[in-house]
Structure 1
Amino acid sequence: AVGVVAKPPIRKLARDLGVDLADVVPSGAAGEVTREDVVKHASQASVFRNIETPEWGAVREETIPVPVPDAAASVPPAPSRSLPEPVDGREESIPVRGVRKATASAMTSSALTAPHVSVWVDVDASRTMELVKRLKSSPDFADVRVSPLLIMARAMIWAVRRTPMVNAAWVDTDEGAQIRVRHYVNLGIAAATPRGLLVPNIKDAQDLNTRELARALEKLTLTAREGKTTPADQQGGTITITNIGVFGVDAGTPIINPGEAGIVALGAIRQKPWVVDGEVRPRWVTTVSGSFDHRVVDGDGVSRFIADIASVLEEPALLLD
């Protein structure tokens, strides 16, 4: 690049890495671009490659016919066993009813019918933590709760648009099996409540800006804790987040919510040693893991989706596209 001070080997390195020297901030004592400047710029720029994101389609749903065998394999029911009677107060039987019964039935059905595939990746979420800190101090977010879950939710919505099959569902009809692709996101948030596990969802989350999404998350969480979640709040979800990090858990293989094809778990965010530019530094690190219906989405789609979420947590500026 004309006007840029850089030695010939540095210019060759920039050409090899596809770096425009005019875009590099020099750090040399005489204002020259150093090797470290080029390598750092290349590593940062690589995060932003291939970030073009499609627009949400005008059609909300479409179905894809799926050929299936004439005779589906059936799973024999598990033999029933009676619980032992209490002995000297050492045991007790708790009737399974209400939310617990519904959850058990739904999770058993999901585990037996949807072939789960799980993936996970460790993420340097330091910039996400910096963004959360800035938002908390912003007057625009003074009256709303901000947490890493907000950035995770934004990342999920962004990544869904790039890999829409994770937001689809397998549907058995009289005409045969179909894959229903939803061009909208009803984002489910798994919530542990005194009533048991609930998964209310934020309708049309793709239409919300960051502040609106933060408000919707806060309202959803508060409603669940107060036991005021309605059946309508839990219906129609398309993909789910489970925030297992609040329990100090790093990763897991969650069971997919029925009617969906994916669930992503956000693990605990802890300070850990992390290699940055060849040096070990303390960084805020988390693990993003997820389970997906392998009938609906293949391994490449699953991997791309999780990698996209990781990219946003590493560099939230991607959400500005």
Structure 2
Amino acid sequence: MTIREFKMPDVGEGLTEAEILKWYVQPGDTVTDGQVVCEVETAKAAVELPIPYDGVVHALLFEEGTTVDVGQVIISVRTEGGAEPEPVAEAAAPAAAEEAAPAARQPVLVGYGVSESSTKRRPRKAAPAPAVAAQNGTAAPAAPAAPALPEVPVQPAGERPLAKPPVRKLAKDLGIDLASVVPTGDGGVVTREDVHAAAAAAVAPQAAPAPVAAEVSVPAAPAVQAEPVARETRIPVKGVRKVTAQAMVGSAFTAPHVTEFITLDVTRTMKLVQELKADPDLAGLRINPLLLIAKAVLVAIRRNPDVNASWDEAAQEIVLKHYVNLGIAAATPRGLIVPNIKDAHAKTLGELSTALSDLVATARDGKTSPADMQNGTITITNVGVFGVDTGTPILNPGESAILAVGAIKLQPWVHKGKVKPRQVTTLALSFDHRLIDGELGSKFLADIAAVLEHPRRLVTWS
């Protein structure tokens, strides 16, 4: 028998670390070549990692929630053949991990050096927790649950607590271990109120319970003066939030932004959406205003090809793109991401609809790959879904323009010489003034508006 070590790979381009979100296997489990063993979150996406050989899991070197440098061993597997080397130290034992860390450091897979600290643990607040089996087989002592909460059986040791993705994100942001939360939802599901209650209890773990967030009504003991809830909460900036913040700062202070606005009547486009929904040739496809807006952008790019470009700082050149990778900004539980539809310019309306649906579904499931977010050329961000009229969007780094689409509302509008109620929206186009001057930017935005005001141009201008 031989113990083989699987290292954290670079699942993107130049990434140096990733957080282990979930293990799908435990020591003693049999694994096969290509089997997914864990899910990790990088600065760009959540990715499932397959094991590259057959065998039996010997040890999991890091716990869920740990950030690991690329190149560090994360799991060891017993395989057939050869002599068995010395066992690998368990990362779950803090003392052993600290002693073994210098020797365990390995060169990273893509040429990046390993930092002084090979792991960075999420700061957690001490919360009353039920006894949960630790990785080494021992059990943590149980703490009493909050008096005002009903007694609910906790999750069995080793089982993943039941909670919806937004609740998991809330717990992660507040530094609360879901395994320590007493669930009150149907079927033992942890709710938002449960997480808030655990966070409040962590702030003041005295004999008397502290007041919790307004979303949960828990009476305080009348005989004891309750401590006030903390006035601030600190949320670690990591993963998607971290890379988004860095990218937006870099974009805002690198590319000279110009934003132009146009308000337009999209009544005909909204009617066309309804007609296309009833078209049997498009049955089963998701037809919505965003689809026609995306098509209008592609038509406008065809009429103004110079907007589809990028700036090469090193060569001091403008790079014209003869393809359109259309980005769609998506708000997900992990943060804002911008996957793009590759070669959107070459797709039919039906193909574009399918690509949009797949993009949105993948983003919501947290399965967007790093490749899906690379090499975008122009982006659409639909702020109208939040009831916002418009905004001044910041360019996705490396792209030439971004279009913000505002809410579509019934408003009084002069139509054929009379004031009538019409479907109206406002578009905002931000562009890189190094690539696009005012004339080109204005023509591009006007063409998008013209198509949406008279959607027959989707045919006549194509």
| Residue identity in the other structure for 1:290 | L
Aligned partners of 1:127 and 1:316 also within 8 Å: yes
Structure 1 counterpart of 2:393, from 251, 254, 259:
254
Equivalent in the alignment of 1:310: 449
Structure number with greater CO (CA < 8 Å, separation at least 6) is: 1
Structure 2 residue matching 1:103: 3-state secondary structure: helix
Aligned partners of 1:125 and 1:313 also within 8 Å: yes
Partner deviation per Cα, 1:210-242 (whole Å, 9 max, x = no partner): 111011101101110110100000001000000
- After TM superposition, the structure 1 = structure 2 runs for residues 170-209 of structure 1, keeping only pairs within 5 Å, are 170-173=311-314, 176-209=315-348
Separation (CA, whole Å) in 2 of partners of 1:94 and 1:140: 49
Shift, 1:166, TM fit: 1.9
Number of aligned positions between the proteins: 234
- After TM superposition, the structure 1 = structure 2 runs for residues 119-138 of structure 1, keeping only pairs within 5 Å, are 119-138=260-279
Specify which structure has the higher proportion of helix. Answer: 1
Equivalent in the alignment of 1:283: 422
Aligned partners of 1:249 and 1:267 also within 8 Å: yes
| Residue identity in the other structure for 1:183 | H
Partner deviation per Cα, 1:169-201 (whole Å, 9 max, x = no partner): 11112xx31111101100000000001001000
Aligned partners of 1:186 and 1:203 also within 8 Å: yes
Structure 2 residue matching 1:237: 3-state secondary structure: coil
Q: TM-score, normalised by structure 1?
A: 0.72
Aligned partners of 1:264 and 1:288 also within 8 Å: yes
Shift, 1:165, TM fit: 2.4
Equivalent in the alignment of 1:114: 255
Shift, 1:277, TM fit: 1.6
- Structure with higher Rg: it is 2
Structure 2 residue matching 1:309: 3-state secondary structure: helix
Shift, 1:163, TM fit: 1.4
Separation (CA, whole Å) in 2 of partners of 1:99 and 1:135: 36
Equivalent in the alignment of 2:48: none
User: Where do 5+ consecutive residues of structure 1 fail to align?
Assistant: 1-85
| Residue identity in the other structure for 1:289 | A
Structure 1 residue matching 2:411: 3-state secondary structure: strand
Shift, 1:88, TM fit: 5.3
Q: TM-score, normalised by structure 2?
A: 0.50
The answer on 1:296 being equivalent to 2:408 is no
Percentage of pairs with the same residue: 59
Separation (CA, whole Å) in 2 of partners of 1:269 and 1:161: 25
Structure 2 counterpart of 1:169, from 310, 333, 336:
310
Aligned partners of 1:252 and 1:290 also within 8 Å: no
| Residue identity in the other structure for 1:141 | L
Equivalent in the alignment of 2:218: none
Separation (CA, whole Å) in 1 of partners of 2:331 and 2:386: 11
Shift, 1:255, TM fit: 0.1
After superposing on structure 2, the runs of 4+ consecutive aligned residues of structure 1 that deviate more than 3 Å are none
- After TM superposition, the structure 1 = structure 2 runs for residues 258-273 of structure 1, keeping only pairs within 5 Å, are 258-273=397-412
Separation (CA, whole Å) in 2 of partners of 1:245 and 1:320: 26
| Residue identity in the other structure for 2:253 | L
Separation (CA, whole Å) in 2 of partners of 1:164 and 1:113: 23
Shift, 1:142, TM fit: 1.8
Aligned partners of 1:190 and 1:241 also within 8 Å: yes
| Residue identity in the other structure for 2:288 | S
The answer on 1:99 being equivalent to 2:240 is yes
Structure 1 residue matching 2:242: 3-state secondary structure: helix
Structure 2 residue matching 1:283: 3-state secondary structure: strand
| Residue identity in the other structure for 1:164 | P
Root mean square deviation of aligned Cα: 1.2
Partner deviation per Cα, 1:16-74 (whole Å, 9 max, x = no partner): xxxxxxxxxxxxxxxxxxxxxxxxxxxxxxxxxxxxxxxxxxxxxxxxxxxxxxxxxxx
| Residue identity in the other structure for 1:282 | P
| Residue identity in the other structure for 1:125 | V
Structure 1 residue matching 2:393: 3-state secondary structure: coil
Partner deviation per Cα, 1:288-309 (whole Å, 9 max, x = no partner): 1110000110000000000000
Structure 2 residue matching 1:259: 3-state secondary structure: coil
Partner deviation per Cα, 1:270-299 (whole Å, 9 max, x = no partner): 110110121000111011111000011000
Equivalent in the alignment of 1:143: 284
Separation (CA, whole Å) in 1 of partners of 2:304 and 2:438: 12
Structure 2 residue matching 1:113: 3-state secondary structure: coil
